[in-house]
Structure 1
Amino acid sequence: MPSAHHRIPLSVLDLAPRSQGMTPADALAATRSLAQDADRLGYRRFWVAEHHGTETFMSSATSLLLGHLAEHTQRIRLGSGGVMLPNHSPLMVAEYYGTLATLHGDRFDLGLGRAPGTDPMTAAALARGTGSLDTFAQDVADLAAYLGDPRPGAQVRALPGEGTHVPLWMLGSSTGGAQVAAALGLPFAFASHFAPDHLDSAIELYRTHFRADAPTAQVERPMVMAGINVLAAPTGEEARHLFTTAQLMAVRIRTGQPAPLDPPVQDLAAVLPEQLLQIADAHQSVRAVGTPDEVAAHLDGFVSEHPVDELIVTTYTHDPAMRRRSYALLAEVWALPQAA
């Protein structure tokens, strides 16, 4: 087991979740409080992900939310995990993130995804492109060019944005994203927290085909961040009880019935039929739930099994105070370098 001094960095993925009984403003305030905690506790990044048209998550306008979080934090890197590029023109993304970097300096990561991040009808209302691999790779290349050094004679420019060099990341939940990340020389964030099955094959493909010499390259060697679900509490029993909220959320998402987060329940079997219990219990490998020591042991095991450089953890609780407590307990047991 790695000593605390050799553990890889931890980051936070937050979707501004809204619980039953909360207003959208409450959900955004809870995310701001969590970002302030993460900043102080030594987490490396705080990423928010673009989702549209859902009662569950209030993170549809990521750049606006990140600007708000930047005003209320000091050190932590803030980013999109990710911006869903089929919904946006690369020029507009470059302007938004270029504006953030101009206002707040080099504190932003621009994670890019190929999915629309919503249902088909909402996707059609947002739609700008299809997200097919070839057009997507071109969009990423355009975005990198807009954020890069001024190009003599360029007809189209991102102002502000040009010259800010906001770092690009590629997101993926399959080998498709790994392919693009490798070809473009980008760091790769894998959504193993909800799609663990292809993690190893995606990482292998990415590391094997990584091109440090690509014109869009952002890093000199392959860099992988993987997602994992975490809930730490003083006792394992309490952690498992609180985690039923996340399990019910997974069932709601998979069955097309999204809603604000449910309160935890004593017994999932009492509220879910057999086939839905299987969804609730899926993906055990990317679920670290228990006391802080149990959670750290699970994360250590995950890191020793999969060649990743950083973990991005996500936590759902009905009561936002329990989410904040979980991240505080994890920071302590992982011995994160706390901000002075």
Structure 2
Amino acid sequence: MLHRSPALSVLDLVPVSEGSGPVEAIRAACSAAKVAEGHGYRRYWLAEHHNSPALACSATTVLMGAVAAATDTIRVGSGGIMLPNHAPLKIAEDLGTLAVMYPGRIDCGLGRAPGTDPRTAERLRRGSADLVDFIRDVTELHGYLGPATGAPGETAVIGRGAGVRLFVLGSSTGGARAAAELGLPFSFASHFAPDQLHEALAVYRENFNPDAPTSQVPEPWVSAAVNVMAADTTAEARRQLLTLRHSFAGVLTGRRGTLVAPGDTAELHPILRSRVDHSLRVTACGTAVEVVDQLSDWAAALELDEIVTVTYAHDPMIRLHSLGIVGEEWARRNGGGV
């Protein structure tokens, strides 16, 4: 259901900038979470990726603990944990422990993608990503996190009944069908895979089952991710966006590296530039006023409950500035908060 205005949240892949390392990237994530909290963003999600020197987010629940410890009120979650990489019980134990440590603040977004290359997925002892198996594993996880029933043989899990919120993440209609069948909130990865956005949201809304044993919301709830870069001038925002475009070109060509400064980005071949344009077309860029205009129009057209912002910058201070001015402008238009 559409709120009076959707909430703003953040997804962080904890990218490593050229000339620095994972320690600096993790510190930057904690700093960004503090800024997001101070400007009223609803939640701060951390991704899961493996075998990538460019991303410091392989231990998602560990990062969640670091961000939760660095903040006071913002909800902290996974965006997402790739469930076939893990045993549901282990995820329940991690999340339940976090929920006890940081009451009322822990979310769990769940996805099916490997978050890595096939060889590394094999080393992770990755299980099946089939939709049926994924739904089974989410159901099992939900059972571990729900209130204790006292049934014989029930597994003792720290944080049972502590209110961990589950979300299904996806970039296709498959994830939408899983979220609908489970009666869970759905978040679409339109920041890099926008092709099935409209179809997936329609599938989710049309098939949503509020009576599922795993249901956590009474009606469809949808968020979607958008790349955001805001600066004091439109020209500067577009210049800073070159960092993201260069990074994603590396993804498409299999040569992903650390984030480079805008002035160090190479001119893209026209064919590659077209592919980058297509993949990153869900992007809001400009001054804070321009970005909020773009976000508002986009969210209204899709009837979103929440907007998940994704911001890449070589200089962490650029990202902090973008988060801050967008949050301020959003709050100014929407009664003082997101």
TM-score, with length taken from structure 2: 0.95
Alpha-carbon shift at residue 284 of structure 1 (Å) = 5.6
Q: Deviations over 1:205-255 (max 9, x none)?
A: 111110110000011111000000000000111101110000011110111
Structure 1 partner of 2:131: 133
User: Structure 1 residue 331 and structure 2 residue 324: aligned?
Assistant: no
Q: Deviations over 1:150-192 (max 9, x none)?
A: 1333425142132223111000100000000000000001101
Structure 1 partner of 2:68: 70
Contact 1:51 1:60 in 2 (8 A): yes
Q: Deviations over 1:43-99 (max 9, x none)?
A: 000000111111221011111111111111011000000000011000000000000
User: Structure 1 residue 308 and structure 2 residue 337: aligned?
Assistant: no
Alpha-carbon shift at residue 263 of structure 1 (Å) = 1.4
Structure 1 partner of 2:267: 271
Q: Structure 2 CA distance, aligned partners of 1:6 and 1:164?
A: 28
Alpha-carbon shift at residue 314 of structure 1 (Å) = 0.3
Contact 2:30 2:67 in 1 (8 A): yes
Structure 1 partner of 2:284: 288
Q: How do 1:1-340 and structure 2 match up within 5 A?
A: 6-265=4-263, 271-283=267-279, 285-335=281-331
Q: CA 1:6 to 1:183, structure 2 compared with 1: closer, same or farther past 3 Å?
A: closer
SS state at 1:20 partner = coil
Q: Which runs of 5+ in 2 are unaligned?
A: none
TM-align CA RMSD:
1.8
Q: Deviations over 1:295-332 (max 9, x none)?
A: 11111221122121110000001111000000011001
Q: Structure 1 CA distance, aligned partners of 2:321 and 2:161?
A: 39
Contact 2:191 2:280 in 1 (8 A): no
Q: Structure 1 CA distance, aligned partners of 2:327 and 2:295?
A: 12
Q: Deviations over 1:104-160 (max 9, x none)?
A: 111011000001111111111112312111111100000000001113334251421
Q: Deviations over 1:2-50 (max 9, x none)?
A: xxx9431100011111110011101100111001111111000000011
Q: Which runs of 5+ in 1 are unaligned?
A: none
- 2:142 corresponds to which letter in structure 1? A
Contact 1:242 1:264 in 2 (8 A): yes
SS state at 2:140 partner = helix
Q: Structure 2 CA distance, aligned partners of 1:324 and 1:245?
A: 15
Contact 1:41 1:337 in 2 (8 A): no
Q: Deviations over 1:254-289 (max 9, x none)?
A: 1111111121138x6x63222111123224641111
SS state at 2:262 partner = coil
Q: CA 1:11 to 1:333, structure 2 compared with 1: closer, same or farther past 3 Å?
A: same
Q: CA 1:158 to 1:112, structure 2 compared with 1: closer, same or farther past 3 Å?
A: farther
TM-score, with length taken from structure 1: 0.94
Q: What is the number of equivalent residue pairs in this alignment?
A: 334
Contact 1:19 1:262 in 2 (8 A): yes
Q: Structure 2 CA distance, aligned partners of 1:69 and 1:147?
A: 21
Alpha-carbon shift at residue 338 of structure 1 (Å) = 6.5
- 2:17 corresponds to which letter in structure 1? S
SS state at 2:195 partner = helix
Identity of aligned residues (%): 46
Contact 1:11 1:312 in 2 (8 A): yes
